[in-house]
A and B are shown apart, each in its own frame.
Chain A
Amino acid sequence: MYDSHLRKIFGSQTDQFRQSKVLMVGAGGIGCELLKDLLLMNYGEIHILDLDTIDLSNLNRQFLFRQKDIKKSKAMTAQQAVGHFNHASKLVAHHGNIMDTNMFPLSFFTQFDIIFNALDNLEARFYVNKIALFTKIPLIESGTSGLKGQVQPIYPYETECFACIPKEQPKTFPVCTIRSTPSKPIHCITWAKNFLFPQLFGDDVSDQDKLKPQDIESDNKAEIEALLKESNELLDLKVLVNEAAPGDKGFVSKIIEKIFEEDIERLLRIETLWKTREKPEPLNCEPVKIKSLDGQKLWTVEENLALFINSTSKIAQRLKQGPVEFDKDDEDTLDFVVSAANLRSYIFHIPMKTKFEIKQIAGNIIPAVATTNAIMAGFSALSSIHAFHATMQEKVSKSKMVYDSNQPSRFVNTSGLAPKNPKCPACSVTRGIISIDLSKYTVDGLRKAIIDKYGYSDDIGIAEGTRLLYDYDFDDNLEIKLDKVCSYGNVLFISDADDELDSLELLVDKGDKLELPELEVSAKVVPEEKKEEEDEEDDLIIEGDDLIMEGDINGLDGPKRKAEDDMGPAKKRKYTADEVEVIEL
């Protein structure tokens, strides 16, 4: 029998796998591995969902994809690639965005017994977490980053959910650090890629994009003025770039004079900036002749300068054919960023970097390792076994969170699942699903039904996201049919006008009439005074979207608790039978 091994290990539980329907969100690095594991567990029906297509850079770890599959749908390709070792599962592939409520309404999710997340971004993770909370479907969350990784089984409302522990947000830098006082290579790389490149080669800068005084979080008036002047002069340089004749490199020397000499001199005149910092030195050197440079080696400032000239004039010529955007795999644009960043580093006495290193940083390349993905996917699949225990108490107590260990003597650590965080913005909220025909009811009809059902003493407010539908000061919508103001898949936020009862979140699902969920709405707990923790230096953003330096995007560095890593390996640790352990002698 093809499933003899499984039958011997799991006995009749084997059939429970066969009778279950699971959803796997993400068919990338972890997803490919996880799909293999779920298939070989003979899950009855596996839905594979991914919005992405296959890229060349995926092939070194996403073992279900080949060269010939590039540009094809990940979900569809994965489904076909596992055909030869699929002996029992029905596979359904979905090429789409998990957050698309038209494609994946609530009824799509409720068909599943378990959801596996194999995602690469926080937004989708939070979304699926919320769906799991509304539907109470067990969610097994996983993530990796380089050699690190973790798996977190989530039993909604019973254990910590994905939002219970705040996640680290991508790192951003203050504008003034980038523009006037860089101190690290990353500051110069960010300047070259996110500031200089779009300024010189981007679409025409509209008034909106112009630097405004309030954008520069600095109290130094002289610094603000200097930066504003610099910006305006850059616009003049852009004209030079646009008008450059083929083969003309003369305009580049004007650019160099301005950004590596004049702008630095202007900064130097603001003496307050340099009281505690080493003064930059305007560039003063001549380019050398370069042929081919080794991307693994550090280049001299003269070589960088020569490359800056070459790449700038090449990009200027290419602009005549159409727009050029920074792409780590586009040699000209990468050369430009590498040389500009290094020249600026040199000026500010910051160590220069190799092209190879800058490509990693500027290209925002998070190292992904096939083995880590495979290991964490394995633990994710193993975690799902516990979802089949008879009682919730057993499911929760037998499940473990698994994460990489930073101790050399252990490969992974585990810890029991923590209870939910009572202050969690996601799972401490009372929520339910309303089944309703939006075309039949008015805002007022819904309002009255909610007040009656849950015993709000006077009036309520209804909002969808940040959009207010009704409160006692805003009754314009009262007689309007709901389908004009919201749609299926929306979440309605209900608040008590008297602030006596807790708020509610209601997910709108399609139904024939109006059915409100059975919920206990408890009295509002007065929140403790909020801490003021927002005012940290790092808050100001310069193109923060792709500035993530280490860790987190791919992985879940955020929720990583102070784990047993810190407490000594086996505090209160029980060896339960079904646990995978790594013993090292």
Chain B
Amino acid sequence: MWGIEAQTRMRGSRVLVVNLTSVGCEIVKNLMLGGIGAITVIDSFKVLDQDLNANFFIDKTQVGQPKVLAAEARIRDLNPRVNLTVSTDNWQEKPKDFFLSYNLVVATGLDKTQLTRLNAITRKLKIPFYATGTHGLYGYIFVDLIEHESSVKYEKYPTPKKVGPLSPTSDIVSISEVVENDVELQNCIVKTKFVPLSDIFTNNEKLKFYFPTPRKLKKISPVLPILLALLEIPSQIGKPIEDVAIDAKELSSKVAEVVSRLELPEEIIRPDLVGRLAQQAFCEFQPGASAEQLCGP
């Protein structure tokens, strides 16, 4: 599919997955099936009743056990050739060296403080970082590959690309010409510079590039400021979901803050949607998580 070289690279990769949430389970499953070299799953929570409908690695006799220990055997069974380790430690108490041996870190269900902190570590160690989470039927993915080269094909005409800046975050570093099915194409090596996640909460420069006009700004999903606002609330994963009560009013005012900070149009705030997300916040829903997962480096 992606060639032997990429498969070999995958086999040599070590991935750290932080938190075995419903979307965490999907990621672990797909990495195991894809044949990654080694996976470590770190999660300090215990199995609750509610996990039975969100985590397909555990069964009802395991309620009360540490989640990763309960799931370990079934995860390993997916592909015995993957070197799997699990840890019930709290990742936040791990020294920086702990992260050093990984080629990729994937975290799920973190809040803004945790994200910023983990991302600072991955940046310092130059490890690509994915963060994702779900709130019921909604979800997000953040990506920080720090600096990433990819090859992209563009049609040559009508406007041929030139070596140089492509967007505020990417540059074309080289171009080679190819003809495919009689169409002249430019195969561009594009170098993309990612921003640290902390930037997205405050900096609206990039938004302005992608959505330069008021009309375009209206295309931004009204879910975006709400998801960003929810990140400001301390992560509630691992708690009984009945006890998670997000006040819609409080969320509303956080959304308003996000909107003004990012200079988004006021109309983007949709109170009905804020209410719905307050209700669904931190809920796990497997089909949503499936649709939301991502694939490795």
Contacts and interface: CB of A to CB of B under 8 A. Distances in A.
A378 B289 contact: yes
A170 B114 CA distance: 51
A134 B58 CA distance: 41
**Secondary structure call for the A interface:** loop
Interface stretch (B100-108, B132-140, B179-187, B247-255): B132-140
Contact of B291 (A2, A36, A379, A577): A379
A37 B287 contact: yes
Contacts of B89: none
Contact of B136 (A8, A85, A367, A377): A8
B50 A5 contact: yes
Nearest to A84: B59
A6 interface: yes
Contacts of B293: 371, 374-375
A367 B242 CA distance: 43
**Secondary structure call for the B interface:** helix
Interface string A567-585: 0011001010110111111
Interface in B161-180: none
Interface residues of A, number: 50
Given A40-B56, A146-B1, A370-B30, A578 B50 contact: no
A381 B53 CA distance: 15
A514 interface: no
Contact of B285 (A6, A66, A84): A6
B221 A583 contact: yes
B60 A2 contact: yes
Interface string A225-260: 000000000000000000000000000000000000
Given A40-B56, A63-B78, A2 B207 contact: no
B111 interface: no
B287 A378 contact: yes
B221 A581 contact: yes
A573 to B, nearest CB: 8
Contacts of A375: 290-293
Contact of B50 (A4, A63, A408, A581): A4
Nearest to A382: B287
Nearest to A1: B49
Given A4-B240, A60-B33, A369-B1, A40 B295 contact: no
Given A63-B33, A583-B223, A2 B78 contact: no
- Of the candidates B59, B79, B200, B285, the one having the most CB atoms from chain A within 10 angstroms of its own CB is B285
Contacts of A66: 77
A385 to B, nearest CB: 8
Given A8-B241, A585-B207, A378 B291 contact: yes
Given A87-B60, A408-B152, A371 B34 contact: yes
Interface string B138-160: 11110000000000100000000
A169 B54 CA distance: 40
B53 A87 contact: yes
B287 A2 contact: no
B52 interface: yes
Interface in A146-165: 146-147
Contacts of A583: 140, 220-221, 223-224, 227
A6 B288 contact: no
Interface stretch (B11-19, B118-126, B275-283): B275-283
Contacts of A391: none
A238 B35 CA distance: 44
B140 to A, nearest CB: 7
Interface of B: 1, 4, 26, 29-30, 33-35, 49-50, 52-60, 74, 77-79, 136-141, 152, 200, 206-207, 210, 219-224, 227, 240-242, 272-273, 276, 279-280, 283-295
Interface of A: 1-6, 8-9, 33, 36-37, 40-42, 60-61, 63, 66, 82, 84-85, 87, 146-147, 296, 356, 367, 369-371, 374-375, 377-379, 381-382, 408, 569-570, 573, 575, 577-578, 580-585
6 A-B pairs closest in CB distance: A378-B290, A378-B291, A381-B287, A367-B1, A40-B286, A84-B59
Given A85-B55, A369-B1, A379-B287, 16 more contacts: A4-B242, A5-B53, A5-B284, A6-B53, A8-B241, A8-B280, A40-B285, A63-B29, A146-B1, A378-B287, A381-B287, A408-B152, A569-B219, A580-B137, A581-B138, A583-B221
25 contacts: A1-B49, A1-B242, A2-B49, A4-B53, A5-B54, A5-B284, A8-B280, A9-B137, A9-B279, A9-B283, A36-B290, A40-B53, A40-B286, A40-B287, A41-B286, A60-B33, A60-B35, A369-B295, A371-B295, A374-B26, A378-B292, A381-B290, A382-B137, A580-B138, A581-B221
